[in-house]
Structure 1
Amino acid sequence: MTVNACLLIVDDDSFDTRFISNAIRKADDSIQLEFARDGADAIKRLEDGPRPKIILTDLNMPRMNGHELIRRLRDHKDWKKIPTIVLSTSTDQKDVDLSYEFHANAYLSKPDNLSGYDEIGAFIKSFWLEHVRLPS
């Protein structure tokens, strides 16, 4: 069930942001999408706005990268339970390992075509918003 589902997309690349947001909207246009350009912007949005059900973050961003964002989320009493999914171009196993070390909930590779983004959008809707019981 996706009623009142809010997803925060954290990525400095406007093309990737557009691709993933279009894919999520294609899967379910009732999902509310919020956007941040980097980890620092994401922290500000969390302080000021509605708490998302899920955070989808890139790793390589200015000011505050995805690893630092995840670490900050896990250290904060109000944000530590928000499921956080990494969506990155990095295939470096060190990035994967560090993401899980900081307690990311999943690590996905950015696809190289639009149908790959559509698959990720459908996966997020189906798995994370319909099958998984999310924390309050």
Structure 2
Amino acid sequence: MSDLEFTKILLVEDNPADIRLFKEAFKESNFQNEFYSVKNSSDANNFLNRQEKYTNVPKPDIILLDINIPPTGGFDVLKKVKTNDHLKLIPVIIISASRNERDMLCAYHYHANAFIVKPSDYNSFIKFFDSLGDFWINWARLPGEMEI
């Protein structure tokens, strides 16, 4: 993916205040992106599999996933992504308020690409998203839609 393309980002987060903060931070970040959000694991699974009301959504390039989402939790979404041949190459970044090592170990056990504790203030969010964009767009290479 070239840095002239838009990066499609899916946020899976149930807290409306955090969703607003993510949206604002993405607007102010220094990389081009298409931002999508869903509020629970059911909608996340439907979005990723393009089912129900999500039949026309794009496949995301990056998933930002909170682990404490209803009804089945973020780890359920992570397991389903990483065991699905059409989704498993999408980087999944766990973004959680949890500092619990068990949560971190579980995330990496299920093949999360990173575990990040949510930034605590708006300026930290902006810095985080600029760093995210710099790393995933300028340094990391993401696979396209081509099948192996």
Common topology (TM > 0.5): yes
Divergent runs of 4+, >4 A: none
Corresponding residue SS for 2:115:
strand
Q: Which has the higher helix share?
A: 1
Question: Taking structure 2 as the reference length, what is the TM-score of the superposition?
Answer: 0.87
Give the letter aligned to residue 93 of structure 1.
E
Give unpaired runs (5+ residues) of structure 1: none
- Identity in percent: 27
Q: Residue 76 of structure 1 is aligned with which of 79, 84, 87?
A: 84
RMSD: 1.2
Residues 36-66 of structure 1 deviation map (CA, whole Å, 9 limit, x = unaligned): 1122211111122210000001010111211
2:13 aligned residue: 11
Question: Taking structure 1 as the reference length, what is the TM-score of the superposition?
Answer: 0.94
Residues 74-122 of structure 1 deviation map (CA, whole Å, 9 limit, x = unaligned): 1111001100000100000000010000000001101221111111111
CA contact (8 A) 1:6 1:32 kept: yes
- Figure out how many residues of one structure are paired with residues of the other and give that number: 136
1:120 aligned residue: 128
Whichever of the two has the greater Rg, that structure is: 2
Following superposition, the deviation at residue 2 of structure 1 comes to: 5.0
Give unpaired runs (5+ residues) of structure 2: 51-56
